């Protein structure tokens, strides 16, 4: 009744850092068979990982369409505006930024932009406070 667990609590599964060999095996498998069917990927490749781990590794690190490097000021501005409209819906925001992953945008928001937005808000309200005090 229902689906089986995505990963058995088996101690034979590798956890932690992926090796270059595992990355190569996963990349070659996806080149041959395409993306998808992530639950069966570990059995078909011989990787001792769960399907979710394979999917996340591909989507966040190995996919050739991913844009690497710093986020440009234009992208930063777009993230700020979209976050104002959509909130924390990272996958929708990432859909408007080609080559960027939702995980990357979420991490960038949490490490840099949320503080930047707070400081911008304080700068806008500070003059109003001075006027009210006079």
Q: Residue 120 sits in a domain of what CATH number?
A: 1.10.10.60
The number of folded domains in the chain is 2
Residue 61 region, left (φ>0) first, then alpha (ψ -120 to 50), else beta?
A: alpha
- Cα separation, 57 vs 19, in Å, equals 11
Q: Looking at residue 10, what is its pLDDT?
A: 63
- Say whether both 56 and 100 belong to one domain: no
CB 34 within 8 A of CB 1: no
Tokens of 101: 């992953």
Give the CATH number of the domain where residue 48 resides. Answer: 1.10.10
Q: Looking at residue 125, what is its pLDDT?
A: 58
pTM of the prediction? 0.62
Can you tell me whether residue 53 is helix, strand or coil?
Answer: helix
Name all contacts of 76-85 with Cβ < 8 Å and 24+ positions apart.
76/113, 79/105, 79/108, 79/109, 79/113, 80/113, 80/116, 80/117, 83/109, 83/113, 83/117
pLDDT in tens, 110-131: 998 877 777 766 666 555 544 5
Q: Looking at residue 1, what is its pLDDT?
A: 57
pLDDT in tens, 47-60: 999 999 999 899 88
Tokens of 61: 């690190």
Q: Looking at residue 16, what is its pLDDT?
A: 87
Q: Looking at residue 59, what is its pLDDT?
A: 86
- Say whether both 78 and 127 belong to one domain: yes
Identify the domain containing residue 92 by its residue range.
Answer: 73-133
Q: Looking at residue 7, what is its pLDDT?
A: 67
CB 80 within 8 A of CB 117: yes
Asked if residue 55 belongs to a domain, the reply is yes
CB 55 within 8 A of CB 26: no
Q: Which residues of the chain fall short of a pLDDT of 50?
A: 129-130, 133-134
């Amino acid at each position: 009744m229902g689906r089986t667990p995505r990963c058995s609590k088996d101690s034979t599964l590798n956890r932690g850092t992926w090796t270059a060999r595992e990355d190569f095996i996963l990349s070659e498998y996806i080149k041959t068979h395409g993306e998808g069917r992530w639950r069966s990927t570990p059995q078909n490749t011989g990787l001792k990982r769960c399907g979710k781990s394979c999917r996340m590794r591909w989507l966040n690190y190995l996919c050739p369409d991913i844009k690497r490097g710093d986020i440009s000021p234009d992208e930063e501005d777009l993230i700020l505006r979209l976050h104002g409209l959509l909130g924390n819906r990272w996958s929708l925001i990432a859909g408007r930024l080609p080559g960027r992953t939702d995980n990357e945008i979420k991490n960038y928001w949490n490490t840099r932009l949320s503080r930047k937005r707070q400081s911008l808000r304080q700068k806008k309200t500070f003059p109003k406070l001075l006027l009210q005090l006079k």
